[in-house]
Amino acid sequence: MSQAKTEPSSAEPSHQAQSPLLKGPDLERRFHELVSEWRAEVAPLSSSTARVQHPAYRAIIALGPAVVPLLLRELEQQPNHWFAALRSLTGADPVPLADRGRIRAMTEAWVTWGKEHGYLCWQSIEDPHRLTRA
């Protein structure tokens, strides 16, 4: 699959190439804006291809590796199709072949990878006071 980047059209000013310069709260705010836009616009779509080719999804990837912790946290809290973005940004793919297409298993693989690589803490979402790793 080609990972050719497309230039934002003038009809989509919210996806400008300047976004990789964002940091801290500005980056997080922009990320959440794009996630909300993406969710709203792809909700009725069944095609995974259409989901990952959506301009907001592509704009999230264009924000660069700094969004990896945000994507992993988003995935951990509300599983969705963030796997292609994570593969693109990290070059990793921790999902075993047997789990391809199984959202819950894919999510678990990526969340575990994120914890092992320091992108997420080892606290459980269900019980934020219980540490799952010493």
- Contacts of 34 by beta carbon, 8 Å cutoff, 6+ apart: 15, 56, 57, 59, 60, 63
- Tell me what the mean pLDDT of segment 75-81 comes to: 93
Task: Please give the backbone phi and psi of residue 60, each rounded to the nearest 5 degrees, phi first.
Answer: -65, -45
- Tell me what the mean pLDDT of segment 69-92 comes to: 96
Tell me how crowded residue 73 is: count the other CB atoms within 10 A of its CB. Answer: 18
Contact 53, 6 (CB under 8 A): no
Q: What is the pTM of this model?
A: 0.75
pLDDT attached to residue 23? 81
Per-residue pLDDT at 84 exceeds 50: yes
Residue 129, exposed/middle/buried by CB under 10 A (0-12, 13-18, 19+)? exposed
* 7-64: pLDDT as tens digits: 333 333 344 444 446 788 899 999 999 999 999 999 888 888 999 999 999 999 999 9
Mean pLDDT of the chain: 81
